[in-house]
Chains A and B, each alone.
Chain A
Amino acid sequence: MSEVAQRGRLGAILAMLMLLASCGSATDPSDSNGSASPGPTSVAGIDPSALAVTVASYDIAQGAPRRFLAGVETSDRRLVTFATVDMKFAFAGTGKGEASGPELRTTGRYLPVAGSDVPEPPPIKPRIVTASQSRGVYATMVGFDRPGFWEVEVTADLDGKLRRGTGAFQVLESARLPDVGDAALATENLTISSSDAPPAAVDSRAAGDPDGTVPNPEIHSTTIAAALAAKRPVLAVFATPVYCTSRFCGPVTDLVAELARDYSDRAAFVHVEIWRNFQDKVINKAAAEWLLRDGNLTEPWIYLIGADGRIQARFDNVANRSELEPLLAALPTSAAMPISAAPSVGKA
């Protein structure tokens, strides 16, 4: 239960860094042949061929390689999608003094948002599309050797021309949120049986239902604490499908509901709604326990918790079936945890 505030100082610094990256460094000074090519320039002096790169990962910490996500757009807000892009990472400093470091280069592979289309066969080069054609980010695995501010430069081969853009982000000394290997928090999240909460606190989509029915009972019927006590694996999604900032909350919640129907014999499935009351800025306690740190909350997140109560994997912001299904399929089958027979909570 906390109050939402405006951007903090750290956020402002990072935002400024991102802004500078978007404004200053995104312009590709050379074409695919490496020759000088100022290209078309807007009135404001911004090269419209430059790409806008948005780092879509949360809670990035130094250490072992982690999944890193970046969304790539054109200046007119169409999406760069499919195939792969080159990603080059460089340390930008700590804010207390600049320091140089080695550049890291990786390949980012297209990760479509759950439910988003990819042509068959998949394109071998990236393409610029509209949101109705496909929506997704580029994902790679990368480890950062030091905390501080970093930049990623993304290069995409679009119609034979290399186009670039940069984004900036912060690497933390250590993860602030529950991480792989940590003991899962035995959280008593709200369920459809919770009599002390409005339906929209169980799932924000209930607010739009005339009867206040909580959708997808298969992910609103048990608690993380109960599943841990039963030594049952858990796939938990923390998301607010209605009041979503990232735009990916609905798709990932739907995805977990789909997986719940297919793999209920292998794990318990839990959706934790972020907001108890969006308008009054009240966060659900369960969401705060997992995601609220130092006044900062990011979502959506998906956590896979093993039968031993340890976090096996976590997925920030964007995840799709191809990432989650193999992990679920590898779990041993067991008797399904019965879904509560309790009726949906109404708007009493």
Chain B
Amino acid sequence: MIRRAAAGAFVGVALAACGGGGGRLTTPTAASGPPLSQPALVATTEAPSPPRGSPAAAIDALCRAAGDPDAQAAATLFADDAHDALHDLALAVESKDRASAARLYQATEVVESDFSAAGTPTGNRSANLRALATAASQSAAVLDVATSPCPK
């Protein structure tokens, strides 16, 4: 029986448990959201941004990176808004659906390789980012977290 170290992932879990937004592995829903009596929150017509560190935020970043022709900008989006959340998600999924976790880790590594290797064709990078978003969405579903993959 093996336990794997999860020091990095713990930060997100701890912050989520403490009420912070970081690393939270749930997506706010109507049932868990703020009470509707807060007019400032219901008056807006814009969809609220998913909490930083959440699977939804990571997938959103992946989709934006996939659509960005600038490799450096895409790499920044990936590093800043997706990478850590994807690791947290994969670790959380490991115990429930190891195959999903494996696919997520592998898809993440492909994208990391794209960014570390100079000259990856934009089309390949974009496709790999979209594939990673799909893998992340499928992993989130394992945790009963509803997310949307990249729009066509």
Q: Note whether A and B form a binding pair.
A: yes
Q: Which residues of A contact B (CB under 8 A)?
A: 2-8, 11, 15, 18-19, 22-23, 42-46, 48, 52, 54-56, 58, 71, 73, 75-77, 130-132, 204-205, 207-208, 241-247, 250, 278-279, 281, 283, 292, 295-299, 317
Interface size on B, residues (CB 8 A): 43
Q: How far is the CA of A110 from the CA of B80 in the complex (A)?
A: 19
Q: Once the chains bind, are B7 and A54 in contact (CB under 8 Å)?
A: yes
Known: A22-B14, A45-B19. A77 touches B2 (CB 8 A): no
Interface membership of B28, Cβ < 8 A: no
Interface membership of B87, Cβ < 8 A: yes
For residue B22, which residues in chain A have a CB less than 8 angstroms away from its CB?
52, 73, 75-77
Q: Residue of A at shortest CB range from B3? A: A296
1/0 contact string of B1-41 vs chain A (CB within 8 Å):
11111111111101101111111000000000000000000
Least distance between B102 CB and chain A CB atoms (Å): 5
Q: Once the chains bind, are A23 and B17 in contact (CB under 8 Å)?
A: yes
Interface membership of B124, Cβ < 8 A: no
Q: Once the chains bind, are B20 and A245 in contact (CB under 8 Å)?
A: no
Q: Once the chains bind, are B15 and A52 in contact (CB under 8 Å)?
A: yes
The residue from A6, A46, A77, A244 contacting B52, defined by CB atoms under 8 A apart: A77
Q: Among the interface residues B2, B9, B108, which one has the most CB atoms of the partner chain A within 10 A?
A: B2
Q: How far is the CA of A45 from the CA of B18 in the complex (A)?
A: 9
Known: A18-B14, A42-B20. A130 touches B80 (CB 8 A): yes
Q: Once the chains bind, are B98 and A278 in contact (CB under 8 Å)?
A: yes
Enumerate the 10 nearest inter-chain pairs by beta-carbon distance, A residue then B residue, closest first: A44-B19, A5-B1, A132-B79, A295-B1, A22-B14, A77-B22, A298-B5, A130-B80, A132-B76, A23-B18
Q: Residue of B at shortest CB range from A275? A: B102
Interface membership of B42, Cβ < 8 A: no
Q: Which residues of B contact A (CB under 8 A)?
A: 1-12, 14-15, 17-23, 52-53, 75-76, 79-80, 83-84, 87, 91, 94-95, 98-99, 102, 105-106, 108-110, 112-113
Q: Residue of B at shortest CB range from A55? A: B7
Q: Once the chains bind, are B3 and A11 in contact (CB under 8 Å)?
A: yes
Least distance between B104 CB and chain A CB atoms (Å): 10
Q: Once the chains bind, are A4 and B2 in contact (CB under 8 Å)?
A: yes
Chosen A-B contacts, 13 in total, with CB atoms closer than 8 Å, are: A55-B7, A77-B23, A77-B52, A130-B76, A132-B75, A132-B79, A208-B109, A208-B110, A278-B98, A292-B2, A296-B2, A297-B2, A299-B5
For residue A243, which residues in chain B have a CB less than 8 angstroms away from its CB?
102, 105
For residue B21, which residues in chain A have a CB less than 8 angstroms away from its CB?
75-76
Q: Residue of B at shortest CB range from A53? A: B11
The residue from A18, A77, A317 contacting B53, defined by CB atoms under 8 A apart: A77
For residue A130, which residues in chain B have a CB less than 8 angstroms away from its CB?
76, 79-80
Q: How far is the CA of A250 from the CA of B5 in the complex (A)?
A: 16
Q: How far is the CA of A97 from the CA of B109 in the complex (A)?
A: 45
Q: How far is the CA of A311 from the CA of B79 in the complex (A)?
A: 35
Q: How far is the CA of A317 from the CA of B3 in the complex (A)?
A: 16
Q: Residue of B at shortest CB range from A274? A: B4
Q: Once the chains bind, are A245 and B18 in contact (CB under 8 Å)?
A: no
For residue B102, which residues in chain A have a CB less than 8 angstroms away from its CB?
243, 278-279
Q: How far is the CA of A132 from the CA of B81 in the complex (A)?
A: 9
Q: Once the chains bind, are B52 and A52 in contact (CB under 8 Å)?
A: no
Least distance between B44 CB and chain A CB atoms (Å): 18
Known: A73-B11, A132-B76, A132-B80. A297 touches B17 (CB 8 A): no
Known: A205-B109, A243-B105. A295 touches B15 (CB 8 A): no
Known: A18-B10, A48-B20, A247-B84. A8 touches B3 (CB 8 A): yes
For residue A2, which residues in chain B have a CB less than 8 angstroms away from its CB?
1-2
For residue B2, which residues in chain A have a CB less than 8 angstroms away from its CB?
2-5, 281, 283, 292, 295-297
Q: How far is the CA of A48 from the CA of B19 in the complex (A)?
A: 10
Q: Once the chains bind, are A71 and B8 in contact (CB under 8 Å)?
A: yes
Q: How far is the CA of A205 from the CA of B84 in the complex (A)?
A: 19
Least distance between A238 CB and chain B CB atoms (Å): 12
Q: Residue of A at shortest CB range from B34? A: A43
Q: Residue of B at shortest CB range from A69? A: B7
Least distance between B114 CB and chain A CB atoms (Å): 11
Q: Once the chains bind, are B1 and A131 in contact (CB under 8 Å)?
A: no
Q: Once the chains bind, are B3 and A5 in contact (CB under 8 Å)?
A: yes
Q: Residue of B at shortest CB range from A19? A: B14
Q: Once the chains bind, are A246 and B5 in contact (CB under 8 Å)?
A: yes
Q: Once the chains bind, are B4 and A52 in contact (CB under 8 Å)?
A: no
For residue B15, which residues in chain A have a CB less than 8 angstroms away from its CB?
22, 52, 75, 77
Known: A77-B22, A279-B99. A52 touches B7 (CB 8 A): no
Q: Once the chains bind, are B106 and A207 in contact (CB under 8 Å)?
A: yes
